[in-house]
């Protein structure tokens, strides 16, 4: 890597960085997820055993992180499409990013209880 | 371009004439005898377009998948072999999951191909990382497809 350089691209650059990082993370999860789902061809017990891992508090919190990564990647992906194909997209790319961030915050707040309810119920009773 | 370089400043008479022709400058990127017949395809443009088209479809498929698996009806609590068997009893969800598998794997593989091309500087490193990526991608797509097509709810 070339040392000592930083492209100060502000919103456009940082959304690009976040899009890459979330994309790579989601792709690595996808490999694991296809492999764990493949256990339904081994036996119901084998599948239920691995799914039990998904229900532990730590992995449950990681699922919330997965939702966070996927939601950002999806919303920012739509922004990239708007920038590429909508004639006013490049002009409004910063507004679009802050819209993405706003929608993301609302959806993440809404997903908090539904996604983490298993852990919340297990740790704090019903 | 200004003609100042090729003319004298005062009388605007060219330095070149029929006996003293101007030097020929080859246009950049001119095809020569050494240039292969077809060095360029539109592969990268189709890859770029595929990322956007598959992305739109994946927004619907993946967010719908997350809603069903992690949000509605108790979140992750309900997931188990019986839940999978119930959903894959319907061809609709089989097609949904199969489409999602193929599009997500190809979308992700092309994304990681771009990342490898950007950051792996040595030719050998780039080549082998991409071979690893393609091998893992083909394996995972085929495994997932096989699982969806051969799923047996009565397996013991």
Instruction: State the 10-residue block means of pLDDT for chain A, 126 residues long.
Output: 69 92 97 95 93 93 96 97 93 93 97 91 78
As a whole number of angstroms, the distance between CA A84 and CA B125 comes to 32
Q: Tell me: pLDDT of B4 over 60.
A: no
Q: Tell me: pLDDT of B38 over 90.
A: no
Partners of B14 in beta bridges: B7
In chain B, whose CA is at the least distance from the CA of A24? B112
**What's the confidence (pLDDT) of residue B137?**
97
Q: Which whole number is the average pLDDT over B106-113?
A: 97
Q: Which of these, A34, A103, A10, lies nearest to B145 by C-alpha position?
A: A34
Angle between helices B91-119 and A10-37 (to 10 degrees): 130
Q: What are phi and psi of B14, to 5 degrees?
A: -65, 145
Q: Tell me: pLDDT of B53 over 80.
A: yes
Picking from B11-25, B99-113, B128-142, which range would have the lowest pLDDT averaged per residue?
Answer: B11-25
Q: Which of these, A75, A67, A73, lies nearest to A99 by C-alpha position?
A: A75
H or E segment and range at residue B54: helix B43-66
**What's the confidence (pLDDT) of residue B77?**
85
**What's the confidence (pLDDT) of residue A98?**
96
In chain B, whose CA is at the least distance from the CA of A26? B108
Q: Say whether domain A10-124 belongs to CATH 1.20.1300.10.
A: yes
Which of 3.30.2270.10, 2.160.10.10, 1.20.1740.10, 1.20.1300.10 would CATH assign to domain B43-150?
1.20.1300.10
Q: Tell me: pLDDT of B12 over 80.
A: no
Angle between helices B43-66 and A57-85 (to 10 degrees): 140
Q: B138: distance to nearest CA of chain A, Å?
A: 11
Q: Under an 8 A CB cutoff, do B66 and A44 touch?
A: no
Kindly indicate the confidence band of residue B2, based on its pLDDT and cuts at 50, 70 and 90.
Answer: very low
First to last CA, chain A: 52
The two structure tokens encoding residue B19 = 């006996």
Q: Which whole number is the average pLDDT over B6-19?
A: 69
Q: Under an 8 A CB cutoff, do A51 and B79 touch?
A: yes
B98 close to A (CB below 8 A): no
Of residues B128 and B17, more confidently modeled: B128
Q: Under an 8 A CB cutoff, do A41 and B155 touch?
A: yes
% of chain B with per-residue pLDDT over 70: 90
What are the chain B neighbours of A121 within 8 Å (beta carbons)?
A: 77
Domain ranges of chain A: 10-124
A108 close to B (CB below 8 A): no
Kindly indicate the confidence band of residue B41, based on its pLDDT and cuts at 50, 70 and 90.
Answer: confident
Domain ranges of chain B: 43-150
**What's the confidence (pLDDT) of residue B3?**
45
What are the chain A neighbours of B74 within 8 Å (beta carbons)?
A: 117-118
**What's the confidence (pLDDT) of residue B1?**
43
């Amino acid at each position: 890597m070339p040392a000592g350089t930083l492209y100060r691209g502000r919103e456009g650059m940082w959304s690009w960085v976040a899009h890459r990082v979330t994309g790579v993370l989601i792709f690595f999860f996808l490999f694991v997820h296809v492999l764990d789902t493949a256990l339904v061809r081994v036996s119901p017990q084998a599948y239920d055993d691995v799914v039990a891992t998904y229900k532990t508090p730590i992995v449950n919190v990681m699922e919330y992180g997965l939702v966070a990564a996927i939601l950002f990647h999806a919303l920012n992906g739509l922004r990239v499409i708007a920038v590429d194909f909508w004639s006013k997209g490049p002009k409004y790319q910063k507004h679009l990013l802050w819209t993405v961030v706003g929608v993301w915050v609302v959806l993440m707040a809404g997903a908090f209880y539904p996604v983490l309810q298993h852990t919340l119920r297990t740790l704090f009773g019903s | 371009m200004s003609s100042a370089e090729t003319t004298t400043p005062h009388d605007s008479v060219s330095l070149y004439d029929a006996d003293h022709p101007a030097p020929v400058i080859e246009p950049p990127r001119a095809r020569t005898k050494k240039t292969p017949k077809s060095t360029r395809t539109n592969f990268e443009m189709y890859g770029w377009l595929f990322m956007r088209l598959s992305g739109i479809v994946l927004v619907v498929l993946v967010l719908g998948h997350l809603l069903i698996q992690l949000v509605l009806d108790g979140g992750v609590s309900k997931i188990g072999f019986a839940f999978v068997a119930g959903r894959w009893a319907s061809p609709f969800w089989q097609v949904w999951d199969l489409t999602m598998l193929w599009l997500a794997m190809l979308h992700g593989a092309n994304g990681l191909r771009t990342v490898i091309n950007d950051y792996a500087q040595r030719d050998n490193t780039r080549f082998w990382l991409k071979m690893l990526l393609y091998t893992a991608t083909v394996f995972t797509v085929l495994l997932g497809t096989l699982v969806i097509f051969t799923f047996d709810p009565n397996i013991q």
